[in-house]
Amino acid sequence: MTQLVIVLDATIVNVALPEVQLELGLTDSQRQWVITAYVLAFGSLLLLGGRLADSWGRKRSYLVGIIGFGAASAWGGLAGSGTELIAARGIQGAFAALLAPAALSMLTVIFPSGRERGTAFAVFGIVAGSGAAVGLALGGILTEFAGWRWCLLVNLVFTALGIVGAAKFLKESRTSSEGGHDLWGGITVTLGFGSLVYGLTLAEDGWTSTTTLAFLALGLGLLALFVVIEAKTAHPILPLRILRDRTRAGAFFVQAVIGAVYIGSTLFQAYHLQVVLQLSPLVAGFATLPMAVSTMAMASLSTKLFQRFGGRYVMTAGLVIAAAGMLYLAQLTLDGSYWAEVLPGLLLVGVGLSGVVVPLQNVALTGVGWNDAGAASAVVNSLMQLGGSIGLALFTALFIGASGGQNTYEATGVEGYAAVYLGAAAALLAGAVVAAALIRTPGVSAPNASAHETHHVPVG
Instruction: Give the containing element (helix H, strand E) for 242.
Output: helix 241-244
pLDDT, tens digit, for every residue of 374-384?
A: 677 778 877 88
Query: What's the confidence (pLDDT) of residue 452?
Result: 38
Of the listed ranges 151-165, 205-219, 356-370, 434-448, the least confidently predicted one is: 434-448
Q: What angle do CA 262, 267, 271 make, to 5 degrees?
A: 140
Percent of the chain with pLDDT over 70: 91
Count other Cβ atoms within 10 Å, centred on residue 339.
Answer: 8
- Residue 336 neighbours by CB under 8 Å, 6+ apart: 342
CA–CA distance, 156 with 147 (Å, rounded to integer): 16
- Cβ count within 10 A of residue 337: 11
Residue by residue, DSSP assigns 85-143 as HHHHHHHHHHHHHHHHHHHHHHHHHH--SHHHHHHHHHHHHHHHHHHHHHHHHHHHHHH
Is the pLDDT at 227 greater than 90? The verdict is yes
Helices 82-110 and 114-145 cross at an angle (nearest 10°) of 160
Model pLDDT, residue 234: 82
Which residue has better confidence, 129 or 423? 423
At 268 the pLDDT is: 84
Q: CB within 8 A of 119, min separation 6: which ones?
A: 303
- CA 47/CA 425 separation, integer angstroms: 29
pLDDT in the model for residue 352: 96
Task: Give the confidence band of 458 by pLDDT, cuts at 50, 70, 90.
Answer: very low
* For residue 341, pLDDT beyond 90: yes
Is 453's pLDDT higher than 50?
Answer: no
CB 140 within 8 A of CB 281: yes
What are the residue boundaries of the structural domains of the chain, listed by start? Answer: 2-169+237-446
Per the model's pLDDT, the better-predicted residue between 149 and 47 turns out to be 149
Maximum distance among all alpha carbons in the chain? 64
According to CATH, what is the number of the domain 2-169+237-446? Answer: 1.20.1250.20
Give 161 or 393, the one with higher predicted confidence.
161
Instruction: Compute the radius of gyration of the chain from its Cα atoms.
Output: 21
Rounded to an integer, the average pLDDT of 446-450 is: 39
Model confidence over 326-340: pLDDT tens digits? Answer: 999 999 998 889 999
Alpha-carbon dihedral angle through residues 169, 118, 174, 225, given to the nearest 10 degrees: -140
How do residues 34-66 score in pLDDT, each as one tens digit? 887 887 788 778 888 877 887 788 899 999 999
Region class of 206: left (phi > 0), else alpha (psi between -120 and 50), else beta: left
Q: Looking at residue 186, what is its pLDDT?
A: 82
| Inter-residue contact 89 to 322 (CB < 8 Å) | no
Torsion of CA 170, 172, 177, 180, to 10 degrees: 110
Weakest-pLDDT range from 64-68, 181-185, 236-240, 247-251:
181-185
Percent of the chain whose pLDDT exceeds 90: 34
Is the predicted pLDDT of residue 443 greater than 90, yes or no? no
pLDDT attached to residue 444 = 46
Q: What is the pLDDT of residue 130?
A: 72
Give the contacts of 87 (CB within 8 A, at least 6 positions apart). 37, 75
Of the listed ranges 171-185, 356-370, 413-427, the one predicted with least confidence: 171-185
- pLDDT at residue 213 greater than cutoff 50: yes
pLDDT in tens, 293-326: 898 889 889 889 998 888 899 999 999 999 999 9
Please tell me the distance from the alpha carbon of residue 365 to that of residue 372, in angstroms, as a whole number. Answer: 10
415-427: pLDDT as tens digits? 999 999 999 999 9
